[in-house]
Structure 1
Amino acid sequence: MTRYLPPFILLVLALLPLGLRDPYILNALITGGIFAIGAISLNLLLGFTGQLSLGHIAFFGIGAYASALTALGFDVGLPFGVRIVHEGAHPFFGFLAAIIVSGICGYVVGRLSFRVRGAYFVIVTICFAEVVRLVALNWIELTQGPLALTSIPFMKLGLPGVGELTLRTKIQNYYLMLGVAALAYLVVARLVHSRFGRAMRGLKENEQLAVSVGVNATKTLTVAATISAALAGAAGSLYAHYFRIIDPDVFLFTYTVTMVIMVVSGGKGTLAGPVIGGVIFGTLPVALRPYMAPEAQWIVYGAVLILILFLMPRGIAPFLDDLFKGRLKRAKTPSSVVAKPQLEGQS
């Protein structure tokens, strides 16, 4: 059942703007979708390797800054009199830079931190995110610090034989977000169903047994962290070019918590889980904003989360899967098979 959910959700989301006229709701969907991409990337670590990263927002923010600075250009001085001047490039190259730079950072963090497990790994990821936030806050010559990077150009796509398309409208950015989300989902799905994916799941279920049959734990987890960070960087790039302004607040811990909520509530370790959780908890705060005070918004947000986790402890996607399989099994069971033991008992 869960394998049919993402295509169905993708179809619904692709048709949704056709009948949607409210730009505010469309903005909520774009924002939620961007963080849903981050949740898909986090699920690769949390759901399929069992490694909880509470500093995942660092890769999201690194991607946002890398993409923005690549598009805007910069002039920064380094130690020993070295100066780097970049005049600015096409925003699409910023998108690629966000993926590459975030992936490299994910590889470095993975190589250093996957030598430890459990609470130690969680602490390393939190510290990394905080260090990156402080760098963004204090390296004013590069990042403008608390003044923020502004006037970030819109994302542009080149069309062969047609020219260049600048994505200025919300609908254009919506379909860009949807396309990147679908691509991220396919990358994770392809990876999970490969031999490498079986190694990841083996480490999650029983690391000692997986290592005993030849799985290189550190290498497997590092590669997973690299791909996860690269996907988070892609989401950060979309964020930067959509809102066109970023500051060190993009590294706030609450954004990581939001991604974790999306993964856990949707169903960690499933492909459909982050998609469902991202749609619900990505759009819920923005959708409630016109109707409720901030305090009431968070009360409803927390109540919905508690209700989902109480009624569906493994997440929404596994619950729907079990529900569908149960109904399918009952539908395939002939009534005569159920009635036969009763007839024999009566005789």
Structure 2
Amino acid sequence: MTRHLPALALLAALAALPFALGHDPYLLNALITTGIVTIAAMSLNLLLGFTGQLSLGHIAFFGIGAYVSALTSLGFDVELLWGLRIVHEPWPPVVGFGLAVLATAGCGYLVGRLSFRVRGAYFVIVTISFAEVVRLVALNWVELTQGPLALTGIPPFSLGLPGLGSVTLRTKMQNYYLVLVVGTLCYALISLLVRSRFGRAMRGLKENESLALSVGINATRTLTLAAVISAAMAGAAGSLYAHYLRIIDPDVFLFSTTVTMVIMVVGGGKGTLLGPVVGGLIFGLLPVALRPVMVPEAQWMVFGLVLIVIQFVMPRGIVPGLARLATRRRASEPARVPVEVRP
């Protein structure tokens, strides 16, 4: 139970944060978007932190989740080859969320099966190429995605509550707690995975792949499953993004978002559970503090400087660095020897 105390304390603080901010809509919007990107960073950490595989095309799963969920809830009418026409009537956004998770999980499986035969720099190139192909499809398939004109009027989530009927999540406060709940579930799932036999197999492949293979770990199957779960979580984040903003365009596939995810993971501490969360909060809210005083280009410079300072002071990231400092402090404290008092 003690090892979960930092996570529980952070969860309690995040649950109470909107009340401390006085329900400020600007800050709530920043927290919601930061939370959504943090969920995507957590999914990236499952690959980068626990298997050592760097995906620079992770934004593709995020964008696919956004478009699948949006199109499911909006409906579409498209003509394919040989006069085949597909007409889809709008479904509830919750169904779109589920389909976004399934669709991105399937994409993660395909990318994993194809690319985990070649790892290292080759895997990075494959993931970047996949993201660019998906972006071009979203940009040019105007009949389905509206291309640069964007999909608009995406409905917000509606949740059926026993005894209360259906509740439509329109306010920022409602969306904030929806993102917090989804993020908590993703964190719990990752925590269970990394402490399971599957998690030990992932870490084994990261630390010493030859040794892991010698004891019977199937590298391709393990890494592909990690890619499937990681992609599904990124798709869930994309679905939240689409139904919160209620408008998406091909800019959702911007490479800079993937870079932001990597910064969150590395700065917070890759291979740790809380690392992407802490890094996500810092690097997600940093632009909010910098926006009034500098242009976006200068913000990226500050991003780089902050990351360099963190890596210089805490080479493994913020969370491992703080854990090491706490361990050293406990070790340096003198042991308390009980004093025997005699009458």
TM-score tier after normalising by the smaller chain length: over 0.9
SS at match of 2:152: coil
CA distance in 1, matches of 2:65, 2:148: 18
Cross-structure match for 1:343: none
CA distance in 2, matches of 1:294, 1:237: 26
SS at match of 1:4: helix
Cross-structure match for 2:257: 255
CA distance in 2, matches of 1:121, 1:174: 35
User: Which aligned pairs between 1:188-337 and structure 2 lie closer than 5 A?
Assistant: 188-331=190-333, 333-334=335-336
- How far is 1:258 from its partner? 0.4
Preserved CA contact (<8 Å) 1:3 1:272: no
CA distance in 2, matches of 1:3, 1:208: 33
For 2:225, give the aligned amino acid: V
Cross-structure match for 1:54: 56
Flag structure 1 segments of 5+ consecutive residues without an equivalent.
Answer: 337-347
For 2:280, give the aligned amino acid: G
Cross-structure match for 2:341: none
Cross-structure match for 2:121: 119
User: Which aligned pairs between 1:33-182 and structure 2 lie closer than 5 A?
Assistant: 33-182=35-184
- How far is 1:297 from its partner? 2.7
- How far is 1:3 from its partner? 4.4
- How far is 1:329 from its partner? 2.1
The TM-score normalised by the length of structure 2 is 0.95
Flag structure 2 segments of 5+ consecutive residues without an equivalent.
Answer: 339-343
Cross-structure match for 2:15: 14
Q: CA RMSD in A?
A: 1.5
Residue of structure 2 aligned with 1:24, choices 22, 26, 37? 26
Cross-structure match for 1:183: 185
The TM-score normalised by the length of structure 1 is 0.94
SS at match of 2:151: coil
SS at match of 2:281: helix
Cross-structure match for 1:5: 6
Deviation by residue 1:83-123 (Cα, 9 ceiling, x = unmatched): 11111110111111110101000001000000101100000
SS at match of 1:108: helix
- How far is 1:294 from its partner? 2.9
Preserved CA contact (<8 Å) 1:192 1:198: yes
Q: Go from structure 1 to structure 2 and tell me whether the alpha carbon gap of 1:4 and 1:332 turns closer, same or farther (over 3 Å shift).
A: farther
